[in-house]
Amino acid sequence: MPISLPAGVEVNVSSDNVITVKGPKGELSQKVNPSITVKQEDGVLHFERPSDSKEHKAMHGLYRALVANMVKGVSEGFKCVQEVIGVGYKVQATGNVIEMDLGYSHKIFFELAPEIHVETVTEKGKNPIITMTSCDKQVLGQAAAKIRSLRKPEPYKGKGIRFQGEEIRKKAGKAAAK
């Protein structure tokens, strides 16, 4: 499946199979396996594999998906929204450092990669929200997973850090003694 390039996105394929994508949101590069050939024609990228072996099919799909994510990232960008649910849980962002109060005896300071922009919103009566944006999907997902692992949602009350819209299956607590 070819990748169509939106306006304002430039793709450069070097001789050593490194694809560099530049756009309004940033610049990303990815090394592609030498057995996969990349051709650019009329604002469209085509990926071709030498044979239909399982290994070549796997690499073909992998590199096509990685480059498609790069093109989308530098043109539109990616966004990740997380909710912090729990009484007394607080979140505050200063620059690229998130300061979190998650019910432990200490505050947690989490430093993000420089290509991630973070925003926190705390409204009275609502759960604090962490919004992260980046052009690199892999770096954004890794940071979001690491933040979620600091206090995973627990199955009884649902307290913890979860992605917005994520459903947590709750368990029934202890039955009352008779």
Of 10, 42, 45, 44, which Cα lies nearest the Cα of 26?
10
Going along the chain from its start, the domains and CATH numbers come out as 3-75 (3.90.930.12), 78-163 (3.90.930.12)
pLDDT at 3 over 70: yes
- Look at residue 88 in the predicted model and tell me its pLDDT: 86
Task: Note the helical H segments in 12-136.
Answer: 54-75
pLDDT at 91 over 80: yes
Q: Which of 90, 100, 102, 139 is nearest to 117 (CA)?
A: 139
Mean pLDDT of the chain: 89
CA distance 116 to 78: 10
> What tokens were used for 10?
């430039």
Under 8 Å between Cβ of 116 and 9: no
Residue 130, pLDDT score? 92
- pTM value is 0.83
Q: What pLDDT, on the 0 to 100 scale, is given for residue 177?
A: 61
pLDDT for residue 124: 87
Q: What is the pLDDT of residues 20-64, one digit of tens each?
A: 999 888 888 989 888 888 888 888 888 888 888 999 999 999 999
Dist. CA 53–CA 67, nearest whole Å: 21
